[in-house]
Amino acid sequence: MKISKKVIKYMDEYDWIKFYKIIVIMMILYITSIIVRVYLRLNHNFKIKQSSLDINWLTKYRVKNTKYKELPPPIDQSLPVPDGFKGHCIGYNLRPGNKIFDDIPMKNNHDNDHKITRMVRGWWPEFSWWMDKDNKSRGKVYTRLVQDITRIGYNDNGEILSVICPQRGTCQFYGCVKFEFTVEQCKGWINEKNLTCHGFLKTHVKLWLDEGSKDNSIIKYIRKKYPSDYYFPLGKSKAIIIDVYTNEGSGYQEFRDFNNIEPNLHPEASLCARILPCTIGDVRSTGNQKADKINNLLKKIVLLEGSNIIQKGNLVYWDLYLLKPEVINKKEYMNHVNVLKDSIENCRENCESVTINEYGEDTTIISNIIYDIIKYII
């Protein structure tokens, strides 16, 4: 059956209408974000940082904030640590600079999951980064990512074999977007008796649209414009990759015990581990200019919602507050690993994080106002 030229012309016009609508949306996002940034800078000139008044300001704010939710640990923390830990793996209790420790090779994450016998849950993954990387006097932004995702898996000798990282997600008019710091490789040790640890991670950021976003009209249109030979970032397996590196220029992030942390946001934790800050790099190129432009566009949307957490050049700090060690249930652990490979949501009721700056402002409110304006227009 032939399609008349009139119908084709109408379809083309309709396509352009949708295209211009998206252009208008992006212009509103860009202009409004500039207005918000200018407003915040002027506003903060007359405000006092809460962090300068009280070291425990963030904990007190979270108690008052009804949006901030916290799940109780799944294991009774008053119970003793299970027997069976031996310690004394290669490099055990040694620190960087010691040749034995330094010579331990990095292992591909999850290659040795079958050897894991014990684990600690990173029940409170706390992230912070600069509100404005070019003006650090404005202070940092703080958020706790999704609970019951992060885990450090190791064997009875204390050799760290796997690290599972937390995720962050939000759903807006354009669909549901998520990102995580994905571990490629790891090495290190954990001492259950002394509550100490040390090691290295090689990571990158993954950014993707949730599978449920495929029916969103805006995503449908963008997807249609995406080069057919390249994977559209719908689902974690097709995620956009953003490189990260340390101040030394390497891709390896050092982590270690940090039990004397101040302020201690979760004193009920058994062990605190600090991952030394990483610098956010570029979106990894696909080799196709059109695909790269769309990937960078999706990143900019996340920058608005995530208060610049993955802005190029920004420093991201990461503290893990860990529960007591436990013996793993192999079936449950491998199911957890496999679920997160596809990023099937398991965060129950607190998928979206409350992000607070040092002035005591919920920065997610600002992005939500902008999204409400756009939804009203479209």
Q: Which residues contact 30 (CB under 8 A, 6 or more apart)?
A: none
CA quadruple 119, 56, 312, 302: dihedral, nearest 10 = 80
Q: Span 100-122, mean pLDDT?
A: 96
- CB 157 within 8 Å of CB 105: no
3-state secondary structure of 52: helix
Who has greater pLDDT, 150 or 176?
150
Residue 311 is predicted with a pLDDT of: 87
pLDDT at 69 over 70: yes
Q: Span 18-32, mean pLDDT?
A: 61
Find the farthest-apart pair of alpha carbons in the chain and give their distance in angstroms, rounded: 78
Reported pTM: 0.82
What one-character DSSP code corresponds to residue 139? -
Most confident listed range (58-62, 260-264, 321-325): 321-325
**CA 351 to chain CA mean position, Å:** 12
Residue 225 is predicted with a pLDDT of: 79
Helices (H), the chain: 5-44, 57-64, 99-102, 217-225, 289-305, 330-341, 363-377
Quick one: pLDDT band at residue 81, thresholds 50, 70, 90? very high
Answer left, alpha or beta for residue 195, where phi above 0 means left and psi between -120 and 50 means alpha: left
Q: Which amino acid is at 233?
A: P
**What is the average pLDDT value for the chain, to the nearest integer?**
82
Residue 118 is predicted with a pLDDT of: 98
pLDDT at 40 over 60: no
Q: Of all residues in the chain, what percent carry a pLDDT higher than 90?
A: 43
